[in-house]
Amino acid sequence: PFFWAVIPAAGIGSRMRADRPKQYLSLGGRTILEHTLDCFLGHPRLKGLAVSLAADDPYWPLLPCAGNGRILRAAGGSERADSVFNALQLLAGQGAEASDWVLVHDAARPNLVRADLDRLLAELADDPVGGLLAVPARDTLKRADADGRVRQTVDRSVIWQAYTPQMFRLGALRQALGDALQAGVAITDESSAMEWAGQAPRLIEGRADNLKITRPEDLEWLARRWADD
């Protein structure tokens, strides 16, 4: 089956402490967002792609891909979930059907490889719910109190880190996100909206280096790695 992609890129990335949102920082001469889009735009099964952008975003129009007719531009919202919801609405208006798959992927994850994307598509092709790329927790995990003292060691064997892409049916995701937003529930990824709607998304183990650029050292690490390749 074909799929649609949604790339929320309307965040400000304050934890990067940079002069611009992190998706517009440079990695090997191109922006992080361009690298992220590349992984999807070259895919033969991609039907269409929507990128959610802040209304006054001055950086997007400067990118060569801003003129790419295959990229739909959705309105960014105040939270990531709003940005994703707006993009889903846009896709639905562009002919995407409720039963179509949508893959939502953070703009700030430029290191997704095709093999991971294809594994997600293959593993979930017949799944009734959908799921997400994820990585088993690697470190020992601690629950802390307000003073920064360890109160408990968490059983890490059942803990995963939720990555993206996250893959769900357009109709189900739109409903779950819309309802969750309306109810004022805190939603930090698509899976949490589906969980809130009573579903159990499947975890598909992916590469740990599909990391979300969040802090300055993440970008330094990735830039060094790409330079070595």
| Closest by CA position to 63, among listed 41, 87, 95, 89 | 41
Structural element, H or E, at residue 131: strand 130-136
Instruction: Write down the least CB distance from residue 126 to ligand C5P, Å.
Output: 29
Least distance CB 56 / ligand C5P (angstroms): 13
Return the number of the residue (8 or 201) whose C-beta is nearest ligand C5P.
8
Pairing state of beta strands 26-27 and 150-154? unpaired
Distance CA 203, CA 163 (A): 10
Tokens of 174: 């739109």
Q: Could you tell me which stretch among 2-10, 143-151, 154-162, 190-198 binds ligand C5P (CB under 6 A)?
A: 2-10
Cα–Cα distance, 145 to 15 (Å, whole number):
23
Long-range CB contacts (within 8 A, 24+) of 193-197 = 193/81, 194/129, 194/130, 194/168, 197/172
Which span (103-111, 127-135, 140-148, 203-211) binds ligand C5P, by CB under 6 A? 103-111
Nearer to ligand C5P, 9 or 117 (CB): 9
**Segment lying near ligand C5P (by CB under 6 A), choices 4-12, 95-103, 144-152, 216-224:** 4-12
Which residues in 7-46 contact ligand C5P (CB under 6 A)?
Answer: 8-11, 23
CA distance 39 to 42: 6
**Least separation, in Å, of the C-beta of 49 and ligand C5P?**
14
- Among 78, 140, 157, 182, the residue binding ligand C5P under the rule CB under 6 A is 78
Residues, the chain:
229
Binding-site string for ligand C5P from residue 166 to residue 205, where x marks contact by CB under 6 A and - marks none: ----------------------------------------
When asked if residue 74 is in the footprint of ligand C5P (CB under 6 A), the reply is no
Integer Cα distance of 226 and 229 in angstroms:
5
Q: Note whether 108 binds ligand C5P by CB under 6 A.
A: yes
Is there binding between residue 165 and ligand C5P (CB under 6 A)?
Answer: no
| Contact with ligand C5P (CB under 6 A) among 35, 43, 47, 80 | 80
Residue tagged 């074909």 (tokens): 2
- Residues 6+ away with beta carbon under 8 Å from 105: 5, 6, 7, 36, 40, 112, 164, 165, 166
Question: Where do contacts with ligand C5P occur on this chain (CB under 6 A)?
Answer: 8-11, 23, 52, 76-80, 83, 106-108, 212, 214
